[in-house]
Amino acid sequence: MRWNVTTRLALGATALVLSHGCVGVLEGTPTWSADPGSGSRGMPRDPSDPSRPPPVGPDGALRPEPAGLRLMTRSQYARSVRDVLGLTPDDDAPVTPVGNARISIRAAVESIAPSTLEEYGDAAFATASWVVADATRARRILGCDPASTGTSCAARILDTVGRRAFRRALTEDERARWLGVASSVAEASRSPVAGIEALVAGLLQSPNFLYRVEVGVPESTSGRVTYRGTELATRLAYFLWGTTPDEALLDAAESGALDTDAGLRAVVDRMLADPRTRVGMREFVSELFEIDALDHVERYHPDFPSFSEDRGALVESFLATAVATLEEGALAELFSTQHFLVDARVAPYLGLAVAGLRPNEFVRRELPAERAGLLTHPAFLALYAHYERKTSPTFRGLFVRKRILCGVVPPPPPGISTILPETRPDRPMTARELLAEHQRNPVCASCHAAIDPIGLGLENFDQVGAFRTTDLGLPIDASGEMEGFVFDDAVGLAHAITGHPALASCLTTRAVELAAAIQLPTVPAELAEARPSSWRELALEVAESPLFRVAYAP
Amino acid sequence: MTRKHLPRRTFLRGVVAGGGALSVGLPLLEAMLDVNGKALADGTPLPKCFAVWFWGNGTIHTEWFPRATGPGWTPSRVLSPIADVAEHVHVVSGTTLPIAGRFNKHVEGPAGILVGAAPTGTPHAEGANDWQYLTVPGPSIDEVAADHLGTPAFRSIVAAVTPPHDTAGGPGTAITYGSHRGPYAPNPPARDPRALFMRLFGAGLPGGAGSTGPDPRALARRSVLDAVRGDAASLRLRLGARDRERLDRHLDGIRDLERRLDGSAEPGRATSACALPRAEAADGSDRERNQLFAEITAMAFACDLTRVASIQFSSPASHSPLPDIFSASSLDRGSFHEHGHLRGYDDFVVRGVQYLTDRFGDFVRALLAVREGDGSLLDRCVVLGTSDIADGPNHGEVDWPLLVAGHGGLARRGTHVRMVGENASRVPLTCLRALGWRGESWGSGSFRVTEAVAELLA
């Protein structure tokens, strides 16, 4: 079945929004209210909350404040250190992820703890020691001989490593300050190499490296600031490559290449042609599904006793599949692809033969008929479960409704217990029967009608994502309906999601959250018309959006 | 447990420090206690110490507390594992934590009991299970205590034994962390006892006896931190208020590091009990790692490297399967949380809460084992043991589990106070009062209290 015309018209081009209490489930278009205390977002704005969504102007348009200090996420940190030093994959430098934030919106609000600061310091000195420990290696990486006397090597490092670390050229003050570090340490320890080591370690601890500084350039009197030059290049680099801008990108930014729409487009196209864009794809999908969190999730299953050892492979399979899918074509295929990249650890979860597979070598395999798309990947299905041995149709459905389709779902009314009755050994019930309470009680049903049917469509997959046709010995009914689209099972659900009119604008919204660190509970008006069908179109949609390029002084 | 007393030279040289070494303030090993062990010989009182020991998913609210009230309590079934230290543990039962029930209780509970406030919701936090978007509005009790007690070499110890509850990665911090400096400013816990040992005890003191001159590494670090401070000062001018606050927190951390490098940290007032703790766990079990964190904390207190600790045995909701007591091969294996929901007050839950109580007991025993004068380290410490909800099977907030160990400003003999319907926040306030904190009140909104539990105070 295809999306029927009336559903399309009724929904228009907008995300589904559930009102307070969800009475009348399909209610209108998302609106951004200028009044922070009202609107459809379920909670008054707390002005003291640093992660609040952006204010709204009198015209209803978002007025995000400058992003300011953006900590690197753990993975961005490790890649950035390597790229600042220009390391190759063969370099066995002791660079590991450091920091506390795994997703961009947290990294934009979180403070560095004292203990984390020590870790940054230790990591920077360990890396710098590694760089200078071998004279040949040091000359290759630094472009000069660290044992030479005088300031010429340090000055050169500031032009190369320093510029990449700060993502811009250093100011005169900064140059003087850091040359002072190199020379004073060299003098006191009577070792030029020690001076260079301190300089390299220091640049990697500067706030100008640990934070991406995005304050923008003020326009005359409007209160608007625009991200330009190297700041805009930095935004692009972390969004599209998941790392710091390289020298060519900084050169282009300094030459004004990003100042025009055409120039920006050309630079984005060049960046998308670079293999590093796979990292950008990977980070986007990783943050969208928050899939890294599987790291410390426990699930118990008699057939998969090694789940906790397989988690890493499941995440890798999930992300490698996502990247391969995005590289090949349509954005929506993330939710309908017929192929996963699997290794020997992952295949059994999919019911695929292990023959010919090895651990940690991921190869493309066609999926069994009961699966389609990333929502049927065991990494997702295991992460969005409830207890260690139970699925959660509500969590899975809520994820799809909110995160993938940008629907707004208010909290259960105060005083309502959200704990479902438990199945008893003498009277087993399927999840559908347990959740029937949600449908019987009109207070629950008004919201859960938009959540549970999606999750129940995935009930053929258990708490580790293995396929099943029964639960507690009872047959599973995975059929359902979503905005008029009737489906029989997870594959039908995959088609409903792939064709959902809210999907493309919602994925664009999620990409803006990552790229611009603006929290967006639902699709803002600025992105309501966004219909990217590929990674390239998504990238351009974000890069050209005012939400990515403009902010407003608070 | 035997402990080798710390030879001065060994300490000064430090043990092997991987990567970069940081010096720690030199404990005053020559300082002797007065005859009672209550003060240093020169009359300076020994600093008080404070620890939070937290576990997830509560207790059995109807029966965890002793039957009789008053000093010399007889343990209930739940508290039986700590009968041996009952003399040193105060029990406050009957209280209710006044949470609003607006969000998930596993988020509201820890914020309520440890921060004295409701978690801060954002418009993203639209569902009861949107804990990943919730943070706390202010500092947790350990941070308040650290401000009050002062920072010798390290502000505090923050450690966690079982994996965090962090099933999604939104910007919230309330479900995952037990220690917070403010909103979105969590203190991430050490998870590896050896890493914590190295941080606290892993470095020598440059320029101290037995060393051959200035430590070039410390010199380089000082020089780098100077420049970092310079960069931050220029950067600060370009930032809005919110980011200035974040950068100021960053600079607070820099200042701590500098004070240690300079030796300008408040001089530690170590007692003669100060010795190197064990660094290596005998095995990887939760029990052993908790024990090691306890021993390291005890010695960090005795050596006055820090005066505050926050140990999270299990995070809110406790998705730990408690593998020490339940077999991995059993199909019945599930988390402590799951069993509470699915099985009610069955044998698993009883054994689980007994096991958790015993781990709290291990922490108390480790402090008790450090002898100072004619008493123990516990005589000057306050340890708050509590959880995120009152009870696993009913997920309620009535009869909140509250254990307060130690005698720092507290009664000499462990007592049981039952105060039905009273605000549970009075117990965190009582801990702060015992430490000599003079703030007007603790907590905000429904959590705000001004009156400590008088029976507990010395």
In Å, how far is B208's CA from the nearest CA of chain A? 18
Angle at B409 between CA B404 and CA B412, to 5 degrees: 70
Instruction: Show the 3-state SS of A156-172.
Output: HHHHHHHHHHHCCCCCH
Contact B181 A293 (CB under 8 A): no
A residues 339..368 contacting B (CB < 8 A): none
Q: Give the mean pLDDT of chain B.
A: 85
More confident residue, B120 or A260: A260
User: What is the pLDDT, as a whole number, of residue A419?
Assistant: 64
Closest to B200 (Cα-Cα) out of B142, B161, B160, B153 = B153
DSSP element (H, E) containing B93: strand B89-93
| pLDDT at position B355 | 96
Tens digits of residue pLDDT in B405-423: 999 999 999 999 999 999 9
Token pair 């020997």 is at which residue? A344
Q: Give residue-wise pLDDT tens across range B236-258.
A: 999 999 899 999 999 999 998 99
Nearest alpha carbon to residue B154 among B244, B49, B241 = B49
Closest CB to A205: pick one of B130, B186, B224: B224
Instruction: Give the residue from B256, B279, B126 showing the smallest Cα distance to B201.
Output: B279
Say what the pLDDT of residue B340 is: 83
Q: Which amino acid is at B378?
A: L
Are the CB atoms for A382 and A395 separated by under 8 Å? no
Lowest mean pLDDT: which of A219-223, B261-265, B396-400?
Answer: B261-265
SS3 of A349, please?
helix
Helix (H) or strand (E) holding A266: helix A261-273
C-beta atoms of A177 and B231 within 8 A: yes
pLDDT of residue A385: 82
- Using DSSP, state whether A71 is helix, strand or coil: strand
Confidence check: pLDDT of B186 > 50:
yes
Burial A459-476 (b: 16+ CB within 10 A, else e): bbbbbbbbbeeebeeeeb
Residues 6+ away with beta carbon under 8 Å from A285: A291, A318, A319, A322, A323, A326, A334, A374
Closest CA to A403 of A9, A100, A15, A12: A15
Cross-chain Cβ contact A383/B167 below 8 Å: yes
Instruction: Please indicate if any CB of chain A lies within 8 Å of the CB of B224.
Output: yes
- Measured between alpha carbons, how far is B339 from A347 in angstroms, rounded to an integer? 31
Contacts of A65 in chain B (CB under 8 A): 240
Residues from chain A contacting residue B300 (CB–CB below 8 Å)? none
Q: Do A410 and B127 touch (CB under 8 A)?
A: yes
Closest partner residue to A106 (CB to CB) among B22, B171, B241 is B171
User: What is the predicted pLDDT for the residue at B207?
Assistant: 29
Q: What is the Cα gyration radius of chain A?
A: 26
Q: Locate A348 and state its tokens.
A: 């059994």
For residue B184, the distance in angstroms to the closest alpha carbon of chain A comes to 5
- Residue identified by tokens 């599904």 is A289
Per DSSP, what are the bridge partners of residue A225?
A: A218, A551
Say how many C-beta atoms besides its own lie within 10 A of residue B206's C-beta. 21
Any B CB within 8 A of A413 CB: no
**Crossing angle, helix A277-289 and helix A535-544, to 10 degrees?**
80
For every residue of B368-430, DSSP letters joined together read: HTSEETTEEGGGGEEEEEEESSSBTTT---BS--EEEE--SSB-SS-EEEE-TT-BTTHHHHH
Q: Which residues in chain A are contacts of B124 at CB distance < 8 A?
A: 51, 53, 519, 521
Q: What is the pLDDT of residue B97?
A: 98
CB contact under 8 A, A388 and B338: yes
Rounded to an integer, the average pLDDT of B338-345 is 80
Least confident of A390-399, A400-409, B91-100, B124-133: B124-133
Say yes or no for a CB contact (<8 Å) between B173 and A292.
no
**Orientation of helix A135-142 relative to helix A114-133, angle to 10°:** 110
Name which of A114, A303, A419, A181 is nearest B254 in CA terms.
A114
Cβ–Cβ contact A177 with B under 8 A: yes
Non-local (6+) Cβ contacts of A425 within 8 A are none
Using an 8 Å Cβ cutoff, are B65 and B76 in contact? Answer: yes
Residues of A in contact with B135 (CB under 8 A): 51
Tell me, what DSSP letter sits at residue A351? T
Q: What is the pLDDT of residue B44?
A: 77
Q: Give B2-9's long-range contacts (Cβ < 8 A, gap of 24+).
A: B3/B275, B3/B277, B4/B275, B4/B276, B5/B272, B5/B275, B6/B274, B6/B275, B6/B276, B8/B209, B9/B209, B9/B210
Per-residue pLDDT of chain A (554 residues; tens, 9 = 90+): 444 433 333 333 333 444 334 533 333 333 332 233 333 333 334 444 555 567 787 777 888 889 999 999 999 999 999 999 999 999 999 999 999 888 898 899 999 999 999 999 999 999 999 999 999 999 999 999 999 988 999 999 999 999 999 999 999 999 999 999 999 999 999 999 999 999 999 999 999 999 999 999 998 777 899 999 999 999 999 999 999 999 999 999 999 999 999 999 999 999 999 999 999 999 999 999 989 889 888 888 889 999 999 999 999 999 999 999 999 989 999 999 999 999 999 999 999 999 999 999 999 999 999 999 999 999 999 998 876 778 889 889 989 998 999 997 776 666 666 666 666 777 888 888 888 877 788 878 878 888 899 999 999 999 999 999 999 889 999 999 999 999 999 999 999 999 999 999 999 999 999 999 988 888 999 999 999 999 999 999 999 999 999 999 87
Q: Calculate helix-pair angle for A229-240, A247-254, nearest 10 degrees.
A: 140
DSSP-derived 3-state class of residue B59: strand
Candidates B24, B133, B224: best to mutate against A (most CBs of A within 10 A) is B224
Contact (Cβ atoms closer than 8 angstroms) between residue A487 and residue A493: yes
For residue B265, what pLDDT is reported?
Answer: 64
Residue A454: which of A472, A432, A421, A428 has the closest Cα?
Answer: A432
ipTM of this predicted complex? 0.88
- As given in the structure block, the two tokens for residue A54 are 């952006």
**Which H or E run includes A485?**
strand A485-487
* pLDDT at position B216 over 80: no
Q: CB A525: neighbour CB atoms within 10 A? A: 16
Please choose, from the candidates B205, B182, B214, the residue with its C-alpha nearest in 3D space to the C-alpha of residue B13: B205
CB B384 within 8 A of CB B393: no
Give the β-pairing of A217-218 and B402-405.
unpaired
Residue numbers of B between 328 and 367 with CB closer than 8 Å to A: 328-329, 331, 333-335, 337-338, 341-342
Contact call for A115 and B188, based on CB within 8 A:
yes
pLDDT at B32 > cutoff 60: no
Strands A485-487 and A480-482: antiparallel
Q: If contacts are CB pairs under 8 Å, which of residues 264-293 in chain A contact chain B?
A: 287, 290, 292-293
Of residues B43 and A381, more confidently modeled: A381
Interface of B with A in 167-186 (CB under 8 A): 167-171, 173, 181-186
Query: In the 8-state DSSP scheme, what is residue A223?
Result: S
